Amino acid sequence: MIRVQEVAPQIDAGPLLSGAQFIDAFRIDREGRAIDARHAAERMLSHPPTWIEALLTLRGVLVAPFGLKASGKDENPRRETIGRFPILTQTPERLVAGFDDKHLDFRVVIDVAAARTVSEGGQQVTATTLVKTHNLFGRIYLAIILPFHRVIAPAMLRKVAVG
């Protein structure tokens, strides 16, 4: 069984999403051929399992009447995306993706580092989520999706461990 653990976020939220009211992080140990943050993000965010895709489609239908972005797509068509998420910055060790909307701003940060707890050559991949709400609707929306997020984030991170 691939073990994903919730960990204390180890990032400076200020430069990533100043004023974030919600931050959490999940980490997985990965053995095998080393990957960079972009490849970890592609494994995690591209081609979600069918049950997650169904939840995201339902979310899109439910929020459309409120004028929210149904897909999370960026208005800047030149910005590269991974899955549904526009890439904001990337280095070999960190990829930051996310978008801003009327109700909240969202970032997902994928960090890749040499692991201290797995065999030589292993890596730790951490997915950190940051959210900044803008209004009452954003706070309500966040409260509704958090239980789903706590299941979806680890499930998607598990995809990084394979290979």
- pLDDT tens per residue across span 102-116: 899 999 999 999 876
Return the closest-CA partner of residue 91 out of 111, 74, 69, 76.
111
Please write the tens of the pLDDT for every residue from 57-79. 877 787 777 776 655 544 556 67
Cβ-count burial of 130 within 10 angstroms (0-12 exposed, 13-18 middle, 19+ buried)?
buried
* Complete domains list, the chain, with CATH: 4-161 (3.30.530)
Name the nearest CA neighbour of 113 among 45, 25, 49: 25
- Give residue 74's pLDDT: 47
46 touches 82 (CB < 8 A)? yes
**pLDDT tens, residue by residue, 127-140:** 999 999 999 999 99
Question: What is the pTM for the complete model shown?
Answer: 0.86
